[in-house]
Copies of this chain bind each other. A is one copy, B any other.
Amino acid sequence: MNVPNNYTGRYNGKVSTSNLNVNGEDFSEFELFELPTPFDDLTPFDDSTSFDESTPRGYPPRDRSMSVTNVNMLMERNKPSHHTTDYDISNLVIRRGQEFMMEVTFSRPLTDSDDFQVEFLIGSNPSASQGSLVAVTFTSRRGGPWPGRVLERRGTTVTLGITPSASAIVGRFRTYVAIVAGRGMQRTRRNSDTDLYLLFNAWCPEDTVFLGNEAERREYVLNDHGVIHQGSLGSVIHRNWVYGQFERGILDACIYILDKSQMPIYDRGNIIKVVRKGSGMVNAQDDKGVLVGNWSNNYSMGRSPTSWTGSIRILLQYANTGTSVSFAQCWVFAGVFNTFLRAIGIPARVITNFNSAHDNTGNLKTDLIFNSDGSPDTRNTRDSIWNYHCWNEVWITRQDLPSQFHGWNVVDSTPQETSDGHYRCGPASVHAIKTGQLCHPYDAGFVFAEVNSDVVFHKRTQFGTLEVTDILKTHIGLALYTKAVGSSGHSDVTHTYKYREGSAEDEATMARAEQYGCERDHSDLPENLLSITLNAEPVMLGQDVSLQVNFHNQGDLNKTVKAHLTASVVFYTGIVAESFKALDFIAQVPANQTKTEVLSIPAEEYFAHLGSQVSLRFVLTGQSDDQSVTAVKLLTLQTPNLNVALDGPRCVGQVMYVTVSFTNELGFRLEKVNLSLAGSGMLSDTDHFYNSIEPLGSITWTVEFYPRLPGERTLFAVMDCENLRQVMGSATVAITA
């Protein structure tokens, strides 16, 4: 419905939803005071003045002796103290809650009777009551909420210190200087050079994103390169990701995202609303956001999710075209969201949850349904277990919640499920998840299920009813990883999400979650005297897989187990791409013993079914006369690496060379190969295309570049083609200033 006229009786005006002033000019250059009222003693009425009725825009001041001749935002002095030096941007970038300096030069030295104010405006119809128009005063005359002081007077120039409030709106402000001149105010003209970007401030104790530890701030706000974990727990893939939050155009792109979302300007100082809105906008679903999700094998209408080196190209393309970028899967959503968050000053990191439950019905049961022959019943199975899932954490003060929920909060921009009607998720306090306090916003229950669901195996009986045959309580949320602070290694943060399985605290957490409506399965299963475990050593793609099946019989009776193995190539979402093997066999397991069978899966059995996937899943169901047991094993095949070598003087601004090389030892031809290379502060995203790489063929590609920023920097290369993805390489180098 679009019936604006129906709302005549509802609203006084439109809400501003853009950093720009879409209405045009902010002020006329000279603004006449309203006629003062008799008791208004601030500006005594001067009845000797004759009005010039011929000037429609306002009456010029009698005293034209003073004007502003220059405004200097003191970029080089402000940027280091605000930790914004790396932003490749021609305007001042500062953080809120912290003083910055600016110099104003007047046409003559100031006297004590001179009065002026500096005004910061954002959006259309800026308004003092909504924080989008802030007047800063430097006398006893009361101004807005940002304190101002004169730091120095030198001739006609004054140096001002201005402290944006720690809860100020974040975005791009327009700056004006207004001189109180006789009957009105004389203002500087609009000058975009004096616009300033105001960010969240992790260094400011009053800011809702305050983070006390400097090493953590350097990692979570200032590091523009990272590592995202993929694969499965026994065979983790470390994927580099170029966040690039300081690169040219990225901060503007991030503000563009909020403008595109039509988020009211006055909400943009509120950390909770900003991160929630961001989690919705990074996916294209329902709001024309940044990235289009695609979990098929067909990426012909865009780039494959595996082919991106980082966020830069994605954000620039979105901001330049205004249309969503194709295509993404969870790590791409998380990587781009991380850039957005760090760019506007919010401490953020990417988390990977191995064996992530994706529950469709909002309970703590991941229901896997099997036919009576032991094969998976995919038609009736709705829930799935993702091999891994990536989301983000932000370090924030939850002003809306009791204080124990401050700190890391989950936000997730992958469009998994709608949260309250939109594809978005969080912020959900990690502490709330650990303690099962799911009675607070937002989406804590959904994240709780992702890390804590029980896997419930059901057998469909011939009557159409379901029988619970087995429950795995430790399969989901096996581990949660993030990049370590200050190194490229991983940090295991599982303990921040969960107490030790089976501990008293863990039981209290689960009980609390149930009390808040998270249903669990308490089926009364017979004591598990029989159990199965599956093992497989990591192998390279193209090698034979050896699957070890261990039947453990803890009972005092020999068992005959009828076993059914299903082997499938799966998407990382746990959905079957293709099943390539089904096998029935009988195992005799003596009392109190473990019987091991080794099943060999030759490469040719799975190879033709891989497509571009690299994950195999083995599901084994075993049935003895009195018991049904199930085991699941995921194996991520390893892919070859790219070789990345650097040459040159390793200094800012001096030419360097990077060479990417690769030899195809896979035994099949790679076709339509795209090679991408990027590195924050080093090299813009750049691509090279090869029609094909024959078996045992080699490629070598050299690119020239000029480092922009000093410090330890990484170049990251990705090779991607339809029949082989996830081929990567990187090189790290220390660049001197």
Q: Decide yes or no whether A520 CB sits under 8 A from chain B.
A: no
| CA A276 to CA B419, docked complex, whole Å | 13
* A367: contacting residue among B3, B129, B276, B460, CB under 8 A: B129
Q: Decide yes or no whether A667 CB sits under 8 A from chain B.
A: no
| CA A38 to CA B361, docked complex, whole Å | 34
Q: Decide yes or no whether A441 CB sits under 8 A from chain B.
A: yes
A575 and B517 in contact, given A467-B142, A562-B39 (Cβ under 8 angstroms) = no
* A8: contacting residue among B15, B185, B297, CB under 8 A: B297
Q: Decide yes or no whether A573 CB sits under 8 A from chain B.
A: yes
Least distance between A270 CB and chain B CB atoms (Å): 8
| CA A142 to CA B141, docked complex, whole Å | 80
Chain A's interface: helix, strand, loop or mixed, by majority? loop
A130 near B5 with CB under 8 A, answer no
* B residues in contact with A373, CB < 8 Å: 34-35, 37
* B residues in contact with A293, CB < 8 Å: 6-7
Q: Decide yes or no whether A420 CB sits under 8 A from chain B.
A: yes
* B residues in contact with A141, CB < 8 Å: 463
What class of interface size applies to chain A in its complex with B?
Answer: 35 or more
* B residues in contact with A378, CB < 8 Å: 12
Q: Decide yes or no whether A464 CB sits under 8 A from chain B.
A: yes
- Of the listed stretches A67-75, A380-388, A477-485, A648-656, name the one at the interface; the rest are far from the partner chain: A380-388
* B residues in contact with A460, CB < 8 Å: 128
* A12: contacting residue among B37, B401, B575, B625, CB under 8 A: B575
A399 near B517 with CB under 8 A, answer yes
A34 near B180 with CB under 8 A, answer no
Q: Decide yes or no whether A556 CB sits under 8 A from chain B.
A: no
* A10: contacting residue among B37, B185, B295, B361, CB under 8 A: B295
Least distance between A49 CB and chain B CB atoms (Å): 15
* B residues in contact with A369, CB < 8 Å: 129
A400 near B516 with CB under 8 A, answer yes
A8 and B42 in contact, given A516-B400, A623-B37 (Cβ under 8 angstroms) = no
Least distance between A581 CB and chain B CB atoms (Å): 20
Q: Decide yes or no whether A421 CB sits under 8 A from chain B.
A: yes
A382 near B127 with CB under 8 A, answer yes
Q: Decide yes or no whether A723 CB sits under 8 A from chain B.
A: no
Question: Most chain-B Cβ atoms within 10 A of its Cβ — which of A141, A463, A572?
Answer: A463
Residues on A lying within 8 angstroms of B by beta carbon are 1, 3, 5-13, 15, 31, 33-40, 42-43, 117, 119, 127-130, 133, 135, 137, 141-144, 178, 180, 185, 264, 266-267, 270, 276, 280, 284-286, 288, 292-298, 324, 327, 360-362, 367, 369, 371-374, 378-382, 384, 399-402, 420-422, 438-442, 445, 458, 460-467, 516-517, 562, 571-573, 575, 577, 623-625
Q: A1-B288, A1-B292, A34-B372 are in contact. List 8 more A-B contacts (CB 8 A).
A: A3-B294, A8-B297, A37-B372, A42-B461, A129-B369, A133-B464, A135-B465, A141-B463
Offer 18 A-B interface pairs, CB within 8 angstroms, sorted by A: A1-B292, A1-B324, A6-B292, A6-B327, A8-B295, A8-B297, A9-B575, A10-B575, A39-B625, A127-B382, A128-B465, A137-B463, A143-B463, A144-B465, A276-B420, A400-B445, A400-B516, A420-B422
